[in-house]
Amino acid sequence: MILIIDKLTIRARLVAGFGVLLAVLLVLTVIAILSLDRVVTRTGKADDANRLVKYVLDIRGEEKNYLLRGSAKEAQNVQKLIMEVENEIEKIRIGFDTAGNHELLDAFVHELGEYTRVFQQYLQLDQDSNSQKLAMEAAARSLEGVLDEFRDLQKQQLGALLARGVQATDIQEELDEADAANRLIKYLLEARTEEKNFQLRGDSKAIEQVTASLTEALGLADELAAGAERETSKQVALSVRADLLDYRRAFEKFVADRVEQSKLQALLVVAARALEEQAQALRADQKGELLADIDGAEMLIELVAAGAVILAALVAWLMVRTVVVPLNEVTFAMQDVAEGEGDLTRRLPAQGDHEIAQLAKAFNAFSEKMRTAIETVAENVEQLSSASEELSATALQSNAASATRPSRWQRP
């Protein structure tokens, strides 16, 4: 790789270095975006799970209001919320991409179906119970009306007998019938009172008391019908008996529905808790996956950042190795020459055609020329020195010869 870089120009090296760094930054950005996108997607799934939990809590709130007040509006609200949850499930199922997600969601759907089934049964029983309650009230009102008419009839007949001055035995019969009518009204009032106690508190003792009062009333109505001498009294007694039977049948059906409702209410609570637990499990699963994705994204970003730092350091080292170091070598060599004691035999590496190689070649050529010039000057100086020494020697010899030879002008 270094050999390849050595063949590049300085400009190409700088462009390549910055290009690598930009590419690394781009890769880092893409990885960060992908990691954050996954976290955002998982956050959306966690939000979907939170909405399911909120729906379940809203359903339970409306359900409790319905159980307390028995209002049709609360029942409609529960059914409406169930439909909204079903629609929400269809929307979020697409985003749940793992087998574990689908398994938890399917379990939630199963619990929702079980809760819906039990609630619909309870709602149907509640409607039947209300129908029986209305039937009881209708039978009771009819019975009260018949007994009031019967009592008024007895009063009229008793007044007529007293006005005619009939025998005491006939008057006693009218008094007995009037007393029977009053006792029937008393039994009916007792039954209605205990019936309301049962509706309010669900006390089983109230059921026994209602049954006992109705049994007494039916027995009295049978006696009245059997002992009545007038056809009108007999018809009234039979009408009272029929209304009492209608009331008792409605009450018994009402009691049976209430008992079944109590069982279904317990099942409804169990189903609601199971549904809420499943929703919480779904939310906990999404929360765990969200935290795992966040941790994974943080770790990935840290690893990529560390890799980027290492790569940046490697690029910087290569730039220093291939640009700064050769420039420093040229600089030190030129400073050495400039100081006057440089080694002109030193040669710089000059591989390649880049600017530093060309500068090194120029320096090497300059050093070679300087070395050649200096060697030439040194040779010339040496030659001049030799010639000077020869001249000096010749001059000395000449002087010596002149000193020893007598002058022709000297006298003998």
Tell me the CB-side half-sphere exposure of residue 340, using CA atoms within 13 A.
0
Range of the domain at 202: 12-301
> What's the pTM value of the predicted model, to 2 decimals?
0.61
Which of the 8 DSSP states describes residue 354?
A: S
Verify that 106 and 25 share a domain, yes or no: yes
Verify that 257 and 373 share a domain, yes or no: no
Give me the tens of pLDDT residue by residue for the chain, a chain 412 residues long.
Answer: 555 555 566 666 667 767 777 777 787 777 777 777 777 777 777 888 888 889 899 998 999 898 888 788 889 999 999 999 999 888 888 777 778 788 888 998 999 999 999 999 999 988 898 898 898 889 888 888 888 877 777 677 666 656 666 555 555 666 677 777 788 888 888 988 998 888 888 778 888 999 999 999 899 888 888 877 778 778 888 888 898 899 899 999 989 988 888 888 899 889 989 988 988 888 888 788 777 877 877 787 777 778 778 877 877 777 777 667 777 777 776 676 666 566 666 666 666 666 666 777 777 777 777 778 777 877 788 788 777 777 777 777 777 766 665 555 444 4
Q: Which residues of 307-344 are buried (b: 16+ CB within 10 A; e: fewer)?
A: eeeeeeeebeebbeebbeebbebbeebbeebeeeebeb
Verify that 22 and 133 share a domain, yes or no: yes
Token pair in block for residue 138? 């209708």
Verify that 269 and 384 share a domain, yes or no: no
DSSP secondary structure, 137-179, as one string: HHHHHHHHHHHHHHHHHHHHHHHHHHHHT--HHHHHHHHHHHH
Q: List the CATH number of the domain containing 162.
A: 1.20.58.920
**Does the residue 324 lie in any domain?**
no
Give the number of domains in the chain. Answer: 2
Collapsed DSSP state (helix, strand, coil) of residue 252: helix
Token pair in block for residue 253? 């059906």
Which of 301, 332, 357 is where one domain is finished? 301
Distance CA 328, CA 258 (A): 100
Residue with tokens 């790789």: 1
Verify that 60 and 138 share a domain, yes or no: yes
Verify that 377 and 271 share a domain, yes or no: no
Q: How many CB atoms lie within 10 A of CB 174?
A: 22
